[in-house]
């Protein structure tokens, strides 16, 4: 055992028996604790007291990184290895320490699950069962799947074979609830599949987590499918409709169900309603073929046939827009919502939910939103000062310039919030 390892193990024993506070303040206490170690360990511990204070700082940071990412304390060996990472032993870095913490199953079964769960329901509650939406996000993070494909990819994660689970079903959530009930390690047992392989959706009808059963049950059910668009904006661009309304856009794609003079006052429409609907309605048109069948408890997709819900309350304003298909246009590429930073390499219009999802997920607004959520999940606070905001901006640059790697973003947030 080399001197560095001996000194580290001596310090680890001290940390277990006493706080770092007392370690710094009392050399006599350090010497007394070190008497428990024989021979050369005692000598190295006494001689290394001054450097041990710095080592204690790194060890405390390592413990904090692990707690924040995995939700549980590290083992002694992992703590020592992470401390070496932070101290640059062998050329390793603080990011290596964070990656080591994310090797713990708790990062996937607890931290990521709790991070994603509120996105999957209208109440934005964390207290919901594991489902295909949540499992798919967790799997994408684990496998470093580019996160800007979240709203468009033909992808879903299921439990591996040999686990005694019921098969994936379009009509119930039993597969995932059994995974959770059995405490199955999601890191080790999630398997990536194509949605087209486990559902009857055609490739043209698949749009990432938008077309998972959980998302459909929450946001395609009843209504007019505007809920799916609204909650996608809330969860993935961190903006609700009031925050993106722009009354300067053309109202030609607003549907018939929106009254042009609510309460007999057209000013309400012109100064309020129009602000949200001019942008939302031509984008939500991408969902025109989707519904959630409450009888069968499954998502339905009717290519070429617009769902009747798009014609609800058509007598409110008969001259309004009549949805003909699932083509969409982003009216917000001009005006004040342009500040969301739309990708200039994309056309801003298209057909179907997947292409519209790509429009949203390749915006700067999407990247900013994801990094703010990661920061809050790891640092346990919103960005509150210029230093925090600068860190979020740095993470956005790393995220968009580094293949949209979400695991890297968690690591960067943990390093920033590791403490002194």
List, for residues 32-51, the tens digit of each pLDDT value: 444 434 433 443 443 354 35
- CA atoms of 16 and 364, how far apart (whole Å): 45
The answer to the question of residue 58 being in a domain is yes
Number of independent structural domains in the chain = 2
* Domain range enclosing 45: 3-104
Tokens of 51: 């450097």
pLDDT of residue 339 exceeding 70, the answer is: yes
Predicted confidence at residue 341, as pLDDT, reads 98
Q: 181-210, pLDDT tens digit by residue?
A: 999 999 999 999 999 999 999 999 999 999
> Which domain-ending residue is among 82, 104, 126?
104
350: β partners: 328
Which residues, including other chains, have CB under 8 Å from residue 238's CB and lie 6 or more apart?
Answer: 365, 368, 369, 372, 373
> Which burial class, exposed, middle or buried, applies to 118 when counting CB atoms under 10 A from its CB (0-12, 13-18, 19+)?
middle
Averaged pLDDT for residues 95-106: 98
pLDDT for res 420: 86
What pLDDT sits at residue 277? Answer: 98
Dig out the tokens for 32 from the structure.
Answer: 């007394």
- Residue 254 maps to a domain: no
Query: Is 99 within a domain?
Result: yes
Partner residues linked to 292 by β-bridges: 299
Mind listing the pLDDT tens digit for each residue in 240-275?
999 999 999 999 999 999 999 999 999 999 999 999
Percentage of residues in the chain with pLDDT exceeding 90? 86
User: Is residue 369 predicted with pLDDT exceeding 90?
Assistant: yes
Tokens 């609510």 sit on residue: 262
Q: Is residue 90 part of a domain?
A: yes
How many other C-beta atoms can be found within 10 angstroms of the C-beta atom of residue 206? 23
pLDDT tens digit string along 61-89? 999 999 999 999 999 999 999 999 999 99
272 within a domain of the structure (yes/no): no
For the ranges 22-26, 317-321, 358-362, which has the lowest average pLDDT?
22-26
Whose CA is closest to 187, among 116, 102, 63?
102
Whether residue 305 is contained in a domain is answered as no
132 domain-assigned: no
């Amino acid at each position: 055992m080399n001197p560095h390892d001996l000194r580290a193990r001596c310090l680890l024993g001290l940390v277990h028996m006493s706080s770092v506070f007392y370690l710094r303040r009392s050399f006599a206490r350090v010497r007394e604790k070190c008497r428990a170690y024989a021979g050369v360990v005692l000598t190295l511990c006494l001689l290394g007291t001054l450097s041990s204070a710095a080592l204690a700082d790194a060890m405390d940071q390592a413990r904090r990184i692990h707690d924040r990412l995995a939700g549980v304390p590290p083992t002694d060996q992992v703590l020592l290895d992470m401390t070496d990472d932070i101290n640059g032993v062998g050329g390793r870095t603080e990011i290596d320490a964070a990656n080591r913490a994310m090797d713990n199953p708790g990062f996937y079964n607890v931290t990521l699950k709790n991070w994603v769960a509120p996105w999957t329901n209208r109440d934005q509650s964390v207290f919901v069962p594991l489902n295909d939406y949540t499992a798919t996000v967790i799997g994408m993070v684990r496998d470093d799947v580019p996160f800007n494909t979240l709203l468009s990819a033909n992808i879903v994660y299921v439990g591996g074979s040999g686990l005694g689970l019921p098969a994936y079903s379009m009509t119930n959530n039993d597969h995932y609830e059994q995974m959770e009930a059995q405490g199955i390690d999601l890191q080790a047992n999630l398997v990536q599949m194509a949605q087209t392989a486990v559902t009857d959706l055609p490739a043209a009808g698949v749009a990432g987590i938008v077309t998972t059963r959980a998302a459909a049950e929450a946001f395609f059910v009843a209504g007019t499918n505007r809920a799916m668009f609204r909650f996608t904006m809330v969860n993935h661009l961190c903006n609700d409709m009031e925050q993106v309304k722009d009354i300067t856009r053309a109202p030609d794609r607003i549907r018939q169900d929106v009254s042009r003079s609510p309460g007999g006052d057209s000013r309400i429409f012109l100064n309020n309603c129009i602000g949200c609907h001019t942008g939302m309605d031509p984008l939500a048109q991408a969902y025109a073929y989707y519904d959630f069948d409450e009888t069968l408890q499954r998502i339905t997709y009717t290519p070429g046939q617009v769902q009747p819900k798009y014609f609800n309350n058509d007598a409110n304003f008969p001259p309004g827009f009549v949805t003909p298909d699932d083509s969409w246009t982003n009216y917000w590429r001009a005006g004040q919502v342009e500040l969301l930073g739309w990708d200039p390499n994309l056309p801003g219009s298209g057909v179907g939910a997947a292409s519209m999802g790509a429009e949203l997920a390749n915006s700067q607004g999407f990247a900013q939103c994801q990094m703010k959520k990661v920061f809050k999940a790891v640092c346990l606070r919103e960005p509150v000062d210029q230093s925090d905001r600068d860190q979020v901006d740095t993470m956005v640059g790393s995220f968009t310039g580094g293949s949209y790697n979400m695991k890297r973003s968690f690591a960067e947030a943990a390093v920033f919030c590791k403490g002194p």
